[in-house]
């Protein structure tokens, strides 16, 4: 991260895994803005750990997450059709040299996009995440008001600044979405050390992380991942969560991202974005299904999904809609992976059948899929 004093700012270079995170953000927001603007007259993008807005490398310099969010909206093909919705970009950055730099970049963007659209507002705060979020929510509570639909990007360094209780408060309404960084490597390393226990208890909203200290290697890793996910389900009450583990080119797990939503469509769009972000030789995003590791890539291997569907729907006849909803809700795959890439080859191989299909290999609404009984 950038190092700075009040007067100086030393920007960091953008590593490949950060570039991947930014591609994901860009791809998701490109889908989210038009969907959310269709039914809502006010939406918020909240970048809670905004950084300085740019990285040192690249020519011109690579943009940071707040500038990416702003540009994704302003350059969107549908932006001229979203004029009835007000977009509020709230950027928070604790370090004043970083927030000053960000303010300068926003001012430049305003000049570049002059005349600035009246439905796009940008606010920059220079406090801690806990302070800004608390103030914002206290103010709403006092006015008995509710936060407009918000996509919150919570991208801290380390484990100390993002208590589960604040995440729960921030997202406690139907249209709140969260993309949160989880310092997987640090948590697995320090869970048994005893020196940051309070921070870890706040991070998880529970003391159960201590159980991880009794485990080693992959088991410990899975334990902390699953516990964090369970807490996001239970404390923040998100029904749909997709996590992505970021690995470097030596196979080291760096961090996890958790995307949380209450809408299946959001989950589907995030997964589509995820599969679109092609891995380079420098990083990969991974998840697990049917005891197999899934590496997100543009070449989609649906073997684990086939296995999972045969197991999950064994002996049942279900509609195509139920299959698609299940895939989106409970697997790392997106709706676009179900018909042509998974069910059609399964049918060709004689693994599934349909009694009401107009044409073999095609699955229009209402098509029933029959799955064979499972292995006894
Ligand atoms: C990982 S960087 C953010 C990168 C940015 N989201 C991006 O993708 O371009 C984290 C930033 O959070 C800031 N920060 C650290 N602690 C904070 C806190 N408690 N509240 C708000 N910002 C904080 C740091 O100064 C740093 O700039």
Q: What pLDDT, on the 0 to 100 scale, is given for residue 7? A: 53
Q: What are the pLDDT digits (tens) for 153-197?
A: 999 999 999 999 999 999 998 899 999 999 999 999 999 999 999
Instruction: State the Rg of the chain over Cα.
Output: 22
Ligand 1 within 6 A of CB of 63: no
Tell me whether the omega of the peptide bond preceding residue 97 falls within 30 degrees of 0, making it cis. Answer: no
| Mean pLDDT over each residue of the chain, to the nearest integer | 94
Ligand 1 within 6 A of CB of 94: yes
The pLDDT of residue 287 is above 90: no
Among 17-26, 64-73, 266-275, 279-288, name the one with the lowest average pLDDT.
279-288
Give the C-alpha distances (Å, rounded to integers) separating 188 from 64, 162, 274.
Answer: 28, 17, 25
Q: What are the pLDDT digits (tens) for 108-129?
A: 999 999 999 999 999 999 999 9
CATH architecture entry for 3-295? 3-Layer(aba) Sandwich (3.40)
DSSP string, 179-193: EEEE-HHHHHHHTTT
Q: What pLDDT, on the 0 to 100 scale, is given for residue 271? A: 93
Q: What pLDDT, on the 0 to 100 scale, is given for residue 2? A: 61
DSSP string, 328-363: HHHSS--GGGTIIIIIHHHHHTTS-B-SS-SSTT--
Ligand 1 within 6 A of CB of 155: yes
Q: What pLDDT, on the 0 to 100 scale, is given for residue 5? A: 52
Q: Compute the distance between CA of residue 252 and CA of residue 246 in angstroms, rounded to an integer.
A: 8
62 Cβ contact list (under 8 Å, min separation 6): 14, 19, 22, 54, 55
Phi, psi of 61 (to 5 degrees): -55, 145
Read off the pLDDT of each residue in 235-261 and give the average, rounded to a whole number: 93
Question: Nearest CA to 295 among 349, 351, 239, 253?
Answer: 253
CATH architecture entry for 303-370? Orthogonal Bundle (1.10)
Ligand 1 within 6 A of CB of 161: yes
DSSP code for 210: G
Ligand 1 center to 306 CA (angstroms): 40
* The overall pTM is greater than 0.85: yes
The pLDDT of residue 224 is above 60: yes
How do the domains of the chain map onto residue ranges? 3-295, 303-370
Under a CB-based contact definition with an 8 Å cutoff, are residues 42 and 85 in contact? yes
Copy the structure tokens of residue 174. Answer: 């139907």
């Amino acid at each position: 991260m950038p190092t700075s004093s009040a007067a100086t700012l030393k920007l960091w270079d953008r590593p490949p895994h950060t570039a991947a995170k930014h591609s994901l953000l860009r791809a998701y927001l490109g889908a989210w803005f038009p969907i959310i603007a269709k039914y809502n007259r006010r939406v918020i993008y909240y970048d809670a750990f905004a950084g300085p807005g740019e990285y040192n490398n690249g020519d011109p310099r690579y943009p940071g997450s707040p500038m990416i969010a702003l540009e994704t909206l302003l350059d969107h093909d549908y932006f001229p059709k979203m004029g009835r919705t007000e977009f509020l970009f709230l950027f928070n950055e604790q370090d004043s040299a970083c927030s000053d730099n960000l303010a300068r970049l926003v001012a430049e963007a305003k000049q570049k996009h002059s005349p600035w659209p009246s439905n796009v507002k940008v606010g920059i705060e220079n406090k801690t995440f806990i302070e800004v979020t608390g103030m914002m929510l206290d103010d709403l509570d006092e006015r008995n008001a509710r936060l407009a639909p918000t996509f919150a990007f919570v991208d801290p360094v380390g484990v100390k600044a993002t208590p589960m209780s604040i995440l729960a408060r921030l997202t406690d309404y139907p249209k709140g979405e969260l993309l949160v960084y989880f310092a997987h490597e640090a948590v697995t390393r320090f869970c048994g050390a005893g020196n940051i226990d309070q921070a870890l208890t706040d991070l998880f909203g529970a003391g159960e992380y201590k159980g991880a200290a009794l485990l080693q290697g992959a088991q410990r890793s899975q334990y902390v991942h699953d516990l964090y996910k369970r807490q996001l389900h239970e404390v923040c009450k998100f029904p749909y969560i997709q996590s992505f583990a970021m690995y470097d080119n030596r196979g080291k797990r760096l961090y996890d991202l958790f995307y949380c939503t209450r809408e299946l469509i959001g989950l589907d769009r995030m997964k589509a974005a995820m599969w679109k972000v092609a891995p380079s030789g420098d990083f990969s995003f991974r998840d697990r299904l049917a005891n197999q590791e899934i590496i997100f890539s543009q070449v989609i291997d649906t073997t684990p999904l086939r296995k999972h569907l045969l197991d999950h729907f064994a002996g049942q006849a279900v509609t195509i809609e139920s299959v698609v909803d299940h895939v989106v809700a409970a697997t790392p795959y997106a709706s676009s992976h179900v018909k042509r890439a998974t069910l059609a080859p399964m049918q060709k191989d004689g693994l599934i059948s349909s009694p009401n299909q107009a044409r073999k290999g095609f699955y229009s609404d209402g098509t029933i899929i029959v799955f064979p009984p499972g292995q006894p």
